[in-house]
Structures are given as C-alpha cells and as structure tokens.
Amino acid sequence: MHTGDKRLHARIYGRVQGVSFRYNTLQTANRLGVRGWVRNRPDGSVEVMAEGTQGVLEALVEFLNTGPIGAYVRQVDVEWSAAIDEFEYFQVR
C-alpha cells in the first residue's frame, strides 16, 4: 500500500475526444508517477480514475482542466477518496 495516497475520479466534458486527450493524459500521468486509467465515455466525455499522492493528483487535475492542444475543456467534475491500491501503472482503456 502507498501510505497517504489519494484516489481521484474525474469526468472531463467539452471537446475532449478525437484530440489525443487520452494519450496526453497517459503521458502526463506517467511523468507524474500516477497509477490508474483513462477512457472515452459514450456521451463524449473522458473519464479518469487515478491514485497517487495529493500533490501529483492535483497536478494531473491541472492538466485535465486544460487538456492538449485542440481540446476545449468545458467542465471537470472531480471526486476524491482514499486510495485502495488497485493499480500498478497508468493505462488507456
């Protein structure tokens, strides 16, 4: 168990599919050392589930609020909870 880690569940709305949002989230998460996943949702949003320290997850949320070039982020809904140590690495689903 990674002591003190948090769990982040985020939904990102706007023009976030078809703009390499998942790939850029993967790259950002790997750079930060975050574990979890990112996936497209049928409603056009992107969903992220991630675990790590509060600081690195906040840095990930900063990225999610902007996204890559070509994205337009209208809204990010974030839920925080205690980590359950479910993930070994970050992946695109």
Instruction: Give catalytic residues, as residue numbers.
Output: 22, 40
- Sheet strand arrangement including 35-40: 72-82, 6-15, 46-52, 35-40, 90-92
| Helix/strand number for the chain, H first, E second | 2, 5
35, 25 contact by CB (below 8 A):
no
Q: Which two tokens stand for residue 72?
A: 């337009």
